[in-house]
Amino acid sequence: MSSGTTRDERPPERPKVTTRSIREMKARGERIVSVTAYDYPTARLADEAGVDLILVGDSLGMVVLGYESTIPVTMAEMSHHLRAVMRAAPRALVVVDLPFASFQAGPEDAVRNSARLVKRGAEAVKLEGGRRVLPQIQAILAADIPVLGHLGLTPQSVHAFGGYRVQARGAEAADALLEDARALEREGVFAIVLEGIPRELGAEVSRALTIPTIGIGAGAECDGQVLVLHDLIGLSFGRPAKFVRRYAEVGDAIRGAVTAFRDDVRAGRYPSPAETYAAAPDPPPAAKNPAAPASKTPEKSACES
Ligand code: KIV
**Separation of 57 CA from ligand 1 center, angstroms?**
5
pLDDT at position 299: 42
Using the predicted structure, report yes or no on whether residue 298 has a pLDDT greater than 50: no
Q: Rounded distance, CA 20 to CA 190, Å?
A: 8
Average pLDDT score over the chain: 93
Which of the following is catalytic: 123, 128, 185, 195? 195
110 lines ligand 1 (CB under 6 A): no
Confidence grade of residue 304 (pLDDT, cut at 50, 70, 90): very low
* Nearest CA owner, ligand 1 atom 6: 228
Span between the terminal Cα atoms of the chain, in Å: 18
At 287, the pLDDT band (50, 70, 90 cuts) reads low
Please indicate whether residue 55, judged by its CB atom, sits closer than 6 Å to ligand 1: yes
Establish whether 195 is a catalytic residue: yes
- 44 with 51: CB under 8 angstroms? no
Question: Is residue 145 over pLDDT 80?
Answer: yes
Can you tell me which atom of ligand 1 is nearest the CA of 34?
7
Predicted TM-score of the model (pTM)? 0.90
Q: How many CB atoms lie within 10 A of CB 135?
A: 13
